[in-house]
Structure 1
Amino acid sequence: MDALSRLLSLHPVRAGLDIRCRFGQPWNLPNPALPTGVAPYHFILEGQAQLQLPDSEALTLQAGDLVILTRGAAHHLSIAPATPATQASPVRLGSTAAPVMLHVNDDQGGGSQPLSDFLCGQFHFEAPHSNALMQALPELLLVRSAELPEGDGLRTLATLLRNECGGADGQGELRSGAQAVVAGLAAALFGLALRAWLARGGPQPGLLALLAHPVLQSAMQAMLESPQEDWPLPRLAGLCHMSRATFVRRFQEVGGTTPGEVLQQLRMARAARLLSYSKLGTAQIGEAVGYQSEAAFNRVFKKYSGLGPGAYRRRSRAAEAVGEEGGG
């Protein structure tokens, strides 16, 4: 498994896609702030939109642009933002089994003004083990897929999502399995966006910057692959062909943290996943992430998550059961 895949498996992000908007101009769509860990996103399929956050200049979004607000900030998406909030009319595509709800306004492309067609959804960062990933992202993550190479996965995904969410006009015949397909495509959206953003040198200090660094990534890959092992500084520095002092300094500059802190984050993220989805006992999980003492593991995990391993497992299993009952 490659390093980015390992990081995403340790720091899971759930994806949801539930609305497609097709608005004729003018339109104005206010979006309230969301709780910590919930990141709304908008994927522009056709036309333009203006994204406005409080105390910042408006950002013009074009067809192919994907924007993720990783901290759940309140924002407006609009053409002609001074107009009143758009009164959108929900249109269920075909049946209750449709993957998304189509929202239209009174002038759905019937006039001379261009149409704006976009998808809206949310990414959910699972606390606490996805906190480090969320904090490594900028508050506003923008990927312009039109600037990516022909055949890039994100560009292809836009076409697939459009086809599965009602076709070109949003009201086409639904295909068999559309709900499952859209759920899978939405799950892939975050990984593809992250890959494109990393390729363009986007990372700020944090886990992703370390992963993208041409030299320090060797240390990150080693810790990701085997977090249960001992990783003293000389060993990590050797992997990067640096002296210990140079390695520590560069790691701090690029990652904004220390190798020991990153290793502990990776260990606890893996432990959280094992507590949630495996039948291993607490002592076995502690050993699997590098702790020979169950008491030491319990102490560190509680500091990390706010709960002891047993309480965390019970809460995680209860939340999973509720999700299954609710269909999600």
Structure 2
Amino acid sequence: MADPLTEVIQLLRPRAVFSKGISGAGRWAVRYADFGQPGFCAVIEGRCRLAVSGEQPVTLEEGDFVLLPATPSFTMSSLDPAQPLHIDPKTVLPPDREIRHGRQDGPPDVRQFGGWFSFDAQDAGLFVSLLPRMIRIRGVRRLTQLVCLLGEEAAREDIGRDLILQRLVEILLIEALRAAPTEEAQPGLLRGLADPRIAAALRGMHGDIERAWTVPDLARQAGMSRSAFFDRFSRMIGLRPMEYLLAWRMTVAKNLLRSEKVALGEVARRVGYSSASTFSTAFRRHVGLPPGSFTTRAGMRSEAALV
């Protein structure tokens, strides 16, 4: 059976970028501006406070892991309040040593390891928007171990480093998302996958993207009436069924156009269109460019990245 979560992560193509050790002692607070890239941290020892914009403040303790898929503005601080130091993560150069907040001497009150990475996919925004704004997981030792492995590998200058980092980030994402609590999750992919009926429809879409799916087909896949399925899918995912299917098809199509020398008719067939002209019309409407122009631009971006 298709695994929608794994497929989405693979097409987002996460890339490890930066990781660091962070500690704090005494009274301290830092306020980070909106960043937009995925960020994560694991608390190794001690406690601190985290206040993410739009979310309730939480106290982080040893063994806690936090993932921010799009990292909005947030404040990290000691348990005792302090005037925050404002930081713009887009302009601050990564340090080559552990960051220390508050009192600089003596043992720290809290130690954590964290960092951020990027998604290589240019259309990552839609699927990131289907993930929770903040994922907090408690007591999953594997996540802390993965974060530490990321940090160790990032500090090395050895052969295969980039590939290992890429795989570690993929594993970290999958581990975090499948361990994330879904009982009170906002509408999105995790909430849909936690619902057995909606998950069956999602697996159908991802497992047979070439099929000419209709809402009644997907409703049968979920074992529901058409109207009940439509309402439940829209409520759980935050998109109507055919909106999600179109977004997924176009994401797969863009990946094919960017990375493989596949004829247009073959791309159309692989994503469920009966002809190249029908696919081209849908692609232009969704992306704003015909497939040929998209492929040319994607090639130019790839060449520029190599310079």
Distance 1:246 1:52 in 2: 38
Change (3 A) 1:112 1:287: closer
What is the 5 A alignment of 1:282-321? 282-321=264-303
Describe how 1:36-47 pairs up with structure 2 within 5 A. 38-47=37-46
- For 1:185, which of 158, 164, 168 is the aligned residue? 168
1:9 aligns with 2:10: yes
Separation in structure 1 between the aligned mates of residue 235 and residue 56 of structure 2, nearest angstrom = 29
Distance 1:221 1:112, change over 3 A: closer
The AA in structure 2 aligned to 1:25 is G
Q: Which residue of 1 aligns with 2:25?
A: 24
Corresponding residue of 1:102? 98
Structure 2: state its 5+ residue gaps.
none
In the alignment, the residues of structure 2 paired with residue 235 and residue 57 of structure 1 have an alpha-carbon distance, to the nearest angstrom, of 40
Which residue number in structure 1 is paired with residue 198 of structure 2? 216
SS at match of 1:47: strand
**Cα contact 1:210–1:255 (8 A) shared by 2:** yes
Query: Could you give the per-residue CA deviations for residues 2-29 of structure 1, whole angstroms, max 9, x where no partner exists?
Result: 3322232344443433332233333333
CA distance in 2, matches of 1:44, 1:237: 43
C-alpha distance after superposition, 1:167-211 (max 9, x if no partner):
xxxxxxx6966944445423422221111116x545422333222
1:270 aligns with 2:252: yes
Q: Does 1:160 align with 2:149?
A: yes
- Report the Cα distance in structure 2 between the residues aligned to 1:202 and 1:301, rounded to whole angstroms: 35
Q: Quick check: 2:26–2:102 contact (8 Å CA) kept in 1? A: no
**How far 1:224 moved relative to its partner?**
0.3
Gap regions ≥5 residues in structure 1: 93-100, 167-173
8 Å contact 1:298–1:308 — kept in the other structure?
A: yes
**CA distance 1:125–1:74, change in 2 (3 Å):** farther
Cα pair distance change 1:59/1:12, threshold 3 Å: same
Aligned partner of 1:52 in structure 2 is 51
Partner of 1:97: none
Identity %: 26
- 1:260 paired to 2:242: yes
Measured in 2, the distance between the counterparts of 1:40 and 1:76 equals 13
Instruction: State the alpha-carbon separation in 2 of the partners of residues 244 and 162 from structure 1.
Output: 48
1:289, distance to aligned residue in structure 2 (A): 0.9
> Does the residue aligned with 1:139 lie in a helix, a strand or coil?
coil
User: TM-score with structure 2 length normalisation?
Assistant: 0.82
**Partner secondary structure for residue 117 of structure 1:** strand
Is residue 2:116 matched to residue 1:121?
A: yes
Once the two structures are TM-superposed, the CA of residue 107 in structure 1 deviates from its matched residue by 4.6
Which whole-Å deviations, capped at 9, do the CAs of 1:16-56 have from their partners, x for residues lacking one? Answer: 33332233333333312124xx2333332232222224576
* Residues 1:252 and 1:27: Cα distance change in structure 2 (over 3 Å): same
Cα shift readout 1:81-130 (whole Å, capped 9, x = no counterpart) = 524639999763xxxxxxxx53345855x5265242322223437332x3
Instruction: Report if the CA contact (8 A) 1:89-1:104 is conserved.
Output: no
> 1:160 & 1:126 partners in 2: Cα distance?
24
TM-score using structure 1 length: 0.77
CA distance in 2, matches of 1:251, 1:114: 45
Aligned to 2:62: 63
8 and 54 in structure 1: CA distance in 2 versus 1, 3 angstrom threshold? closer
Q: Count residues in correspondence.
A: 300
- Give the alignment of 1:86-101 within 5 angstroms: 92=96, 101=97
Structure 1, 178-187 or 245-254: larger mean CA deviation = 178-187
Q: Between 275-284 and 71-80, report the one with greater CA deviation.
A: 71-80
Farther-moved stretch of structure 1 (181-190 vs 221-230) = 181-190
Are 2:150 and 2:168, in contact at CA under 8 Å, matched by a contact in 1? yes
Q: Distance in 2 between matches of 1:121 and 1:26?
A: 25
What amino acid maps onto 1:189 in structure 2? L
Q: Are the structure 2 counterparts of residues 178 and 121 from structure 1 closer, same or farther at C-alpha, using a change threshold of 3 Å? A: farther
What is residue 111 of structure 1 aligned with on the other side? Answer: 106
